[in-house]
Amino acid sequence: MTSSEKEIDSHWSCWVLSLLVSLLVRIGVSLHPYSGASKGPMYGDFEAQRHWMEITYNLPISHWYENGTDNNLLYWGLDYPPLTAYHSWFCGYIANVINPQWVALHSSRGFETLDHKRFMRYTVFLVDLLIYIPALFFFCIRCVKKTKDHQVPKVLLFFIMLLQPATLLIDHGHFQYNCVSLGFALWAIICIENGNDILASIAFSCALNYKQMELYHSFPFFFYLLGRCWSESTFHKRMTKFFYLGLSVLLTFILCWLPFLGNVNSALQVVHRLFPVARGLFEDKVANVWCSLSVIVKLKHLFSGDQLLRICFVTTLLSLLPSSINLVRKPTFEKFLLSLMNSSLSFFLFSFQVHEKSILLAALIATLLLPYGPFPSVWFLIIATSSMYPLFLKDGLTWAYLGVVTLFLVFSLTTFRLFPDRLSKLLFSTSICGMGLLHVGYHFVPPPHFYPDLYPVLISIYSCLHFLLFLAYFHYVQFGLETKNCIYWSSMKSQIKKDD
């Protein structure tokens, strides 16, 4: 019996209790309003997900991504990859069995009965319970090693990870299914750590085919697996491994896209829907570089859409390459996680067409880094969640936001040795107080009439500055692992107890 199995066996009641409490928190959040509740004519993300169930259930596959009489793409047209569409069809099928009115073509728009809301909430709850939460459990059991600086029981770590506020609030409050794509990505990470590179490739391909934003994680997966191929002893073994990895990705994509591959125009239409370049540089007030710069320099007036697309591509690539090259030279699991963090932050800060919710890609990795850098990880997760506060306020999730963030922070403070020195405590306290003042001002100090979006803009800029500093810090940690002198970091190499 391994040490992990012994820990589960001796503390099984604590593991169950942690799971039940986290599920109770999710249920509590789901009792709050959601995106676009009773706000026609477009409503919000809740209606978008319901509408996709309506479209996929009632129309043939060839019409899912096509504009037509029964599918007006201007009204929440499907713009996620095929696995999302299949998931929507399955939910739509179940919805039709329970109550056909929920997915009736045309007439079900804006449907918001109490029973239907419960059904929609349950669909998120179930995929979270079936995909994301088990992945977190296995990550804690199979991937986390105790170090001389960190000996937090895995059950406590599991509980705190379950309370990660950003994903919890977006999926169970605002309403989305991020736990599916993030869960697939997490399963791929677990497979990487356990040496199952083929399974990792398949799992990550599924994540990409559920949400295209998983491209944020793509560079580290590619370069890590490339480094693993290159580390083989002979050229023949390198090419054989590379071939099988490529084949597993190709076959997974073919299976996911098979219904659309019979017609080139149909496949191209799906791709067009996945990457809507015409939408512009960014949407709403997002805490990335381009939105922050646009407050001073109106980039959309200085450059054409094509020019902005090229600028974003070059800056994102330049930000990604150092971390990726460092990873391929020496592909360790610790560097892999840090490169995932650097990659997702680089995409969020510099890429084209970024949504505020895309910070969840980086929040997932910060959650996985909690055992080894609790101070920067907790700090990042608080700022990442706070960066979306204008969205939560708009959805009526203010109390849910305050409750979940407070719960996460309290358990983090009592579980980890969060502040190694006075400087870290000062930095954290100053940062959180600054964000708190912006929140208070948002509620009690009216903005000037000529700038009604003052507080969303200030929160975006404030968060963006933090994310830039975090990007620099996590690069510093990744490149400094060999020296073992990274402040606020407990290297995985400092393992004091191996599995029996």
C-alpha–C-alpha distance, residues 8 and 15, integer Å: 7
Please give the DSSP secondary-structure letter assigned to residue 446. Answer: P
Q: C-alpha distances in angstroms, 127 versus 88, 171, 179, 387?
A: 12, 11, 7, 26
**Domain spans, the chain:** 3-31+113-479
d(CA 464, CA 141): 34
Q: Residue 71 has which token pair?
A: 């599918």
Q: Which residues of the chain have pLDDT under 70?
A: 1-10, 146-151, 484, 491-500
* Neighbour count for residue 436 (Cβ, 10 Å): 11
Query: Which region, left, alpha or beta, applies to residue 353 given φ > 0 means left and ψ of -120 to 50 means alpha?
Result: left
Per-position DSSP letters for 233-276, written without gaps between them: SSHHHHHHHHHHHHHHHHHHHHHHHGGGTT-HHHHHHHHHHHS-
Asked if 92 contacts 57 with a C-beta cutoff of 8 angstroms, the reply is: yes
Distances in whole angstroms, Cα of residue 69 to Cα of each of 73, 105, 172, 340: 10, 11, 33, 42
282 — phi, psi (to 5°)? -155, 165
pLDDT at 10: 55
At position 437, the amino acid (one-letter code) is L
Nearest partner of 175 among 331, 334, 52, 9, judged by Cα: 52
